[in-house]
Structure 1
Amino acid sequence: MGLENRGYMQDEPSFFGGPSSGSADRLIITIIIINVVVFLLQNMSVTVGEQVTYWLMLRNQELFQGQIWRVVTYGFCHGGFFHILFNMFNLYIFGRLLSQSMKTSEFLAFYLVAIVVGGLAQVVVNFGFDAIVIGASAGVSGLLLLAAMKFPRMKLLLMGIIPIELRWLAIGFFVLSLLSAGNTASGTAHAAHLGGAVFGIAYQYFHWNLSSLFEGRESVSKLKGIFSRKPKLKIHTPTGPSKKQVQLNEEVDRILAKIHEEGEASLTSKERKTLEKASKQYRQLNK
């Protein structure tokens, strides 16, 4: 498997067109803007706000009538200022953390599927209750668990004060969501949080590539094998490598291990240049 198959090494058209490094940063900002615009529409006036919320929210009654778009659109409207502030802040933090290792199309697919899975989980719990679901929490929960699995020892400041490793934050969040999933009276969609979190775990464990399912003629076979766990990626040089090439490959593997443990932000300028050099060499060999 070559370097170009690693997420952060892939060239991906930017969300707004033009060349890009493959980062989903612009997409994250776009998602935040869409959420803010919808929130403003929700609060523009009583009449407009009620209509916007009604047509975007997720509720079993409308869903069972065939209004299937709601399993996605509910994730773009919110119930109050602090609701959207908390979700968009965490979307930005965990999204930026993952953006350098995911193509734009892959990030979008992951985020939307996490919202759908979380929404469906809440639909099951809400069966028999007239409860509505709104908010991006399921998508954000998926990002949190995925980030924790990729960078478990990365430290964050909880509430801006308490240092905590990402893995412990994710475990605490997961346990809380699991214990509260059946509580329909709390006003919080814990089952949606749990659904998004479980999807994030499964995505990393099985090494899924969602955007590739719809590319090329092999889509059906890819879809059939989605639950087959893929082996970890390793650098492969088809012909006898030189001593320098072997050393470069070993250094790249060391850097990738560092990214896994500490996050992409921990890289030094020298390590970033090494990754760029390795990427250029591989592309030249495959021209």
Structure 2
Amino acid sequence: MSTGNLNYQFARLNTAEKLIVINVAVYIIHALVVYLFALNGNAIVRWFELPADFFDMLSQPWSLVTYSFFHGGLLHLFFNMLVLYYVGRIFLNLFGNRTFTNVYFLGVILGGLLFLLSYNVFPAFMGGRTSLIGASAGVTAVLIFVCAYMPNQEVRLLFFNVKLWHIGAFIVLMDLVMITADQNPGGRIAHLGGAVLGYYYARRLLNGQDIGKGFSALLDSLASLFKKQEKKAPMKTVYRKNGKTGKKSPDYQKESRQRKIDAILDKISKSGYESLSKEEKDFLFKAGKED
């Protein structure tokens, strides 16, 4: 398969699927490099993991995000990516790729910050040299977002149906309990940071406020730094015809489309996803792909 074909196939994936591909690729490449060059297992990871010491983190600030692309083992990677795949499908049926990116990476960041805070404030954690890796905080943020946005929606879990808020409550409760019993309390704390972000984002969005707009603007600014400046097109003289064209303005079309999306999301929050008609589901799916 050619490089161009691979790029095309990758471009067709949604954001959740792209994150899965990137995480798997990082795991495989890291494992191969460590093996082929007979390196210590931590020789590469230490530059990307999030250290518990605040001043160590300041020397590698990128680790507040990059820690999420490395995993401690195959099972760690597998279960994170499995949950991300299924929850991502539900999420992206409701919202676009940009909202997903906001929730996921803000969850990663808040999970990392809560980890740092805990290991520099609470005596139970202070003194130990540890670090954080794994996508769990971002995955938990997406999962809890879905559970908080449509809590009464039922999903099939093994042999019985269960409401999403039951799943979310169980996961948060388990992380709280396992902080004192687990050998990896830092990971549990990061999960809780992601859960807080996911819950708060969903509840604010239900009230009409998207708390991720500033983060989206930051990502757009960073992306623009890597794009080549487009050549200015030669100036053209444009003649405007008098009279109405009979076409709706783009702003009107955008507002009309957004009102329809809001109405469908309100219906989901009150009656669940299954209450939607086939036309409404198709419209929501297409809208998510266009965002």
Specify the structure having the higher radius of gyration (Cα): 2
Query: What's the offset of the Cα at 1:174?
Result: 1.2
Q: 1:91–1:47: structure 2 CA closer, same or farther, 3 Å change rule?
A: same
Taking the TM superposition and a 5 Å limit, the aligned residue runs for 1:161-240 are: 161-181=159-179, 185-186=183-184, 189-207=187-205, 208-211=210-213, 215=217
Query: What's the offset of the Cα at 1:57?
Result: 1.1
After superposition, give the CA deviation of every residue in 1:142-190 in whole Å (9 maximum; x if it has no partner).
Answer: 11111001221223344x3453221101011112223334567346611
Q: 1:261–1:47: structure 2 CA closer, same or farther, 3 Å change rule?
A: farther
Q: 1:263–1:90: structure 2 CA closer, same or farther, 3 Å change rule?
A: farther
- Of 113, 129, 145, 2:106 maps to 113
Question: In structure 2, the residue corresponding to 1:85 is in which secondary structure?
Answer: helix
Amino acid at match of 1:38: V
Amino acid at match of 2:43: Q
Contact 2:137 2:194 in 1 (8 A): yes
After superposition, give the CA deviation of every residue in 1:67-99 in whole Å (9 maximum; x if it has no partner).
Answer: 111110111111111111110011111122111
- Of 256, 263, 269, 1:260 maps to 269
| Counterpart for residue 57 of structure 1 | 49
Taking the TM superposition and a 5 Å limit, the aligned residue runs for 1:269-284 are: 269-272=278-281
What TM-score results when the alignment is normalised by the length of structure 2? 0.65
| Counterpart for residue 62 of structure 2 | 69
Question: In structure 2, the residue corresponding to 1:55 is in which secondary structure?
Answer: coil
- Of 70, 79, 82, 1:86 maps to 79
Contact 1:25 1:99 in 2 (8 A): no
Contact 1:106 1:209 in 2 (8 A): no
Contact 2:140 2:194 in 1 (8 A): yes
- Of 109, 122, 125, 2:115 maps to 122
Question: In structure 2, the residue corresponding to 1:38 is in which secondary structure?
Answer: helix
Contact 1:42 1:50 in 2 (8 A): no
Q: 1:30–1:213: structure 2 CA closer, same or farther, 3 Å change rule?
A: closer
Query: What's the offset of the Cα at 1:26?
Result: 1.4
Contact 2:93 2:284 in 1 (8 A): no
Question: In structure 2, the residue corresponding to 1:156 is in which secondary structure?
Answer: strand
| Counterpart for residue 142 of structure 1 | 141
Contact 2:137 2:191 in 1 (8 A): yes
Q: 1:89–1:262: structure 2 CA closer, same or farther, 3 Å change rule?
A: farther
**Distance of 2:13 and 2:150 partners within structure 1:** 18
Query: What's the offset of the Cα at 1:116?
Result: 0.7
Contact 1:138 1:195 in 2 (8 A): yes
Question: In structure 1, the residue corresponding to 2:14 is in which secondary structure?
Answer: helix
Structural RMSD (CA): 3.5
Q: 1:55–1:201: structure 2 CA closer, same or farther, 3 Å change rule?
A: same
Contact 2:153 2:273 in 1 (8 A): no
**Distance of 2:181 and 2:116 partners within structure 1:** 13
| Counterpart for residue 283 of structure 1 | none
Amino acid at match of 1:32: I
Amino acid at match of 2:146: A
What TM-score results when the alignment is normalised by the length of structure 1? 0.66
Question: Where do 5+ consecutive residues of structure 2 fail to align?
Answer: 1-6, 121-125, 219-258
Amino acid at match of 1:31: L
Query: What's the offset of the Cα at 1:132?
Result: 1.6
Q: Which stretch of the first structure deviates more once superposed, 202-211 or 80-89?
A: 202-211
Query: What's the offset of the Cα at 1:27?
Result: 1.4
**Distance of 2:65 and 2:75 partners within structure 1:** 21
Contact 2:80 2:135 in 1 (8 A): yes
**Distance of 1:275 and 1:69 partners within structure 2:** 35
Contact 1:125 1:182 in 2 (8 A): no
Contact 1:42 1:48 in 2 (8 A): no
